Amino acid sequence: MTISSAQRQRHDYGGRAVVLDWDKEFLPWARGRKTTAKILGETVPLPKPWRPGVHWALVGPTGQGKSTHAVGILSQRKWVVALDPKGEDETLEASGYHRVRQMPPPRGHPFGAPKPPTQRWMWDQIDKGLPVGLIAGFEAKTDEEDEALQRLLLDAITFVRRSRGWTLYVDEFELLSSMRMMNLGKYIERMLITARRAGTSVLTSYQAPAWVSKHASRQAGLVTTWQTGDRDSVQAIARSMGRDWRVIGKAVDELPSYFSLTIPLDIKMPMLVTTAPKVS
């Protein structure tokens, strides 16, 4: 049965979950190319797609596929800066993005020229309307390298903040935001709160809400989680998205390994279940 627009508005699908094939359904939905799906033969509306300016949080234990999910959805965006504080993320390496140790100044910056060849390549790509993906980060083994890495990551955050239309991927958000580690949380929090008007999206990835700023999920239009026995985490995610934590908990409990549950901010829209194939 196909339902009309008026019927869709009257229906509440917030307690239901739709299973979507990653390549054929989930990624097309994220780009706004798929607006409905079927549950037991019934056509139901899907949440709004991942538009520029909308933030997304990935929350789940290590090894469940957060990085794989992240690289997959980032492929839907034209201009991406990925923060890699450990400097060793193999999935990010497989994305095809270019790893940098120095960020170019944003357009219009007083020190915007001259540019090294790699920076000229980036602006040439952008001028041609072609995609650009950068990875900021390296493996730091000394105190001096720790300081250089922190400066690079802050420069990358500042670059995205001063530019328009970019997507910032914050891997290991706990590591970046902790005052005992990178202490860059306040800069990312400011972007989460103010970046929407510039069409800038922030994609954060972390293991549990208890260890990071609540802005990561409270400012998000979408939160994705994986199988976990941490009820505190489930309750925190549910509260940030305005959902009944018992419904979220039941859905999470039924997830197979490596499958994710994406929860939209619109509480009348269904949740989305999928699994991202390994990046090769």
* 144 in a structural domain: yes
pLDDT of residue 6: 47
Compute the average pLDDT of residues 265-271: 95
pLDDT of residue 211: 66
Q: How far apart, in whole angstroms, are the C-alpha atoms of residue 216 and residue 140? A: 26
Q: Is the pLDDT of residue 46 over 90?
A: yes
pLDDT of residue 109: 55
Question: Which of 134, 138, 124, 122 lies closest to 97, judged by CA?
Answer: 134
Q: Which residues pair with 39 in a beta bridge?
A: 42
Token pair recorded at residue 211: 């260890």
**CATH label of the domain that carries residue 129:** 3.40.50.300
Q: Is the pLDDT of residue 115 over 80?
A: no
pLDDT of residue 118: 60
* 33 in a structural domain: no
Rounded-to-10 torsion of CA 182, 72, 233, 178: 0
- Total count of residues recorded for the chain: 280
* 168 in a structural domain: yes
Q: How far apart, in whole angstroms, are the C-alpha atoms of residue 141 and residue 155? A: 20
pLDDT of residue 260: 97
Q: Is the pLDDT of residue 8 over 50?
A: no
Question: Which one has a higher pLDDT value, 172 or 131?
Answer: 131
* 262 in a structural domain: no
Q: Is the pLDDT of residue 54 over 90?
A: yes
Whole-model pTM? 0.89
* 47 in a structural domain: no
pLDDT of residue 230: 87
Neighbours of 269 (CB within 10 A): 20
Give me the number of domains the chain comprises: 1
pLDDT, mean over the chain = 86
Compute the average pLDDT of residues 254-262: 96
* 137 in a structural domain: yes
In this prediction, residue 116 has a pLDDT band, given cuts at 50, 70 and 90, of: low
pLDDT of residue 86: 82
pLDDT of residue 39: 84
- Give the structural domain span for 176: 54-243
Q: Is the pLDDT of residue 223 over 50?
A: yes
* 109 in a structural domain: yes
* 71 in a structural domain: yes
Compute the average pLDDT of residues 13-27: 94
Q: Is the pLDDT of residue 111 over 50?
A: no
CA atoms 156, 157, 160, 162: torsion sign: negative
Q: Is the pLDDT of residue 270 over 80?
A: yes
User: Which amino acid belongs to residue 47?
Assistant: P
In this prediction, residue 117 has a pLDDT band, given cuts at 50, 70 and 90, of: low
pLDDT of residue 107: 65
Q: Could you tell me the CA-to-CA distances from 151 to 101, 126, 148, 188 in Å, in that order?
A: 10, 25, 5, 14
